[in-house]
Structure 1
Amino acid sequence: MIGMLLHWGAEYLEKVLPAHLRDRMSEPRCDPTLDTSSNVPPVPYVNAFDGKVIAQIPMQGLNRVSRMKLRRFLTQGENLNIQFNKYLEKVDVHSESVSVTFRDGTTETGNIAIGCDGSHSKVREFLVGHDAAQLESVDLTMINYPLGGYTADEARLLQTMHPVFKIAAHPEQPGNAILAALDIADPNDPTTWKFQNYLGWWGPPYAKDLQDPEVRMKFYKLRVSTLCEPFRTGGMKLADDAVVPVYPGQQWAPTMAWDNYGGKVTLAGDAAHSMVPRK
C-alpha cells in the first residue's frame, strides 16, 4: 500500500465521478479527517543533517491519497467488470473496432483501447515499436515502502513538521528522503497509523548492487541513521531482517509521433509519460 499526491489531478477525476462518489472524496485520503479546503501549511523542504527548513513549497488544495483506498473507493458497489491477472499479448485494430488478446487466450473488443498499463506498457510498445518504447535509465536509485507498528510516541513524532508529508535533502548525500502519512486509521490511536518512507540517491550503489536483501538493509539503515528526525525514526523502525524493495530510476517521454489509428488506441498515465520516482 503506497500513497500518491492527487491534488493537481483531483479536478479532472471529479469530473468523471458519479455524484454519490464526488461528495465522498475525503474517504480515500491518507488522513480522511484532514480538512484540505482550509489552509494546509506549505510542505517543508529541510536540511536532512540538522532539520533546518531550506524552503517551503506551497501546494494549494494538497490532497494525498492511499492507492489501495482509492482503488477500493472507486470500484466498490459500482458493478464494474474489472479483471485481474490479465497480461496483454497483442492489440489488433479493425475498421470500426479494436481488440486485445491476453496471455490466457481471452480477447476483448471495443471502440477504443486505452493503455494504462504502467511504465512498462505493452500498448505503448504496440504504438511506437519495441525499441522506442523502452524506458530510459537515469542515475537515480530508490527505496520506497509502507510501514506501521510504531509506538504512539514514534507515530506522533513522524507527524511533526507537516500533517501530509515532508522532504529532506542531505548536504553530503545527493538525493532526498520523503516521509508521508499513509493511513491515519484512527486519529485518536497513533499506534494504528502507517507511514510511507522514501529514500532516493544519485550515483552508486545502484539497484543491481543491492540485490542481496541483507546488504540492502545495511546500506539503507546506515544512510537513514544520518538523517534528522523524524526521517531517522521513520526508517530505523524496520527490522534488520525485513526485505524492502529497491528500484532503478527510469523514465519515458513521448518525444516521437505515432499512429493512434484514428483515436482507437491511446495511452494514459505512466504508460504515456512515466517519470521518476515512478518505476
Structure 2
Amino acid sequence: MKNRVITIHTNDTPVSLKTKKLLAKKLEGSGFIVSESLDTDSELIVCIGGDGAFLEGIHKFQFPEIPFIGINTGHLGFFQEISPNQLADFIFHYKTGKYHLQTFSTVKATVFTENNQSFEHVGLNEIVIRGELSRSVHLNISIGGSFIERFSGDGILVSTPAGSTAYNYSLGGCIVDPRLKLMQVTPIAPMNTTAYRSFTSSILLPSDLSLGIIPDYETRRGIKITTDHLEYTYNNIDNINIEFSDKVVNLLRFENYDFWTKVKSKFL
C-alpha cells in the first residue's frame, strides 16, 4: 500500500508551531505520514500561518502540481481555508473526498540584461517593477508588441486574479474573480503632469497578451523586481517581458467555499 505523505510548512510563531504539533499528531493517528520536506510521495502541502507563510511555502517548494491547503494562524488569511479549531473536520473531509480543487494562474517576468543573460521570476500574487532606493522610474510599456505609454512614477504592479485582493487592491486596483484568466496592470503613484503623462488606472489584459517593459536609459540601472515577497535587483536591464506562466497553484477547497463570500468576510 502506498504511503500517504502530507507535507507541513509553517512559520515560527508560537501559535503556528503549536498548531503544527497538534496537526501532525492527528494526521499520524489517521494513518498519514508527516514530513517537513516535499517527498516524492507527498500528496498534499499544508501551510500554517497567514498569507505570507502560504506564499513562502509555494516558492519554497517551487510551485509543485500537488495541492495546498492553508491553516490560518495569521491576520487576513485570504488563501487559508481552515482555522486551528477545525483540524479534525479537515482530516475527515480530506479522507472522505469532500473537497474540490481551485486552480490559480501565475505570472512570469523574464528579465533580459545588456550582457545577453536572462532570468525568470514567477509570482502567484503579483510582480512589481520599481526603482531601487525608492527612485522614480521611467518605463516604456508595450502590450502585445505595440507601444502604449512611457510610464513615469514609483513603478507598476502586474497582478493575477489571485493577487487582485492583495497589494493590487491597496493601490486602487479592482478585485477579479479567480475564474477569469487575465492580468491586471496597476500603476504605483503615477505622474500625470504637463511633463509626464501616464495611465492612472488599472489596465486589464487577456491571458494571451504579454507586457513589454523597456526602462529609459537613466532608470535602466537600479531596477527592483518583486515577486510576491521575494526581491531581486538588477543594474543592467535591457528589457522585461511579463506574461502568464505555465505553472499553476492548486488549492484544496471544501464544499461550502465561495470566493465572493470570502471577499465579503475579509473586506466588509
TM-score, normalized by the shorter chain, greater than 0.5: no
> TM-score, normalized by length of structure 2?
0.24
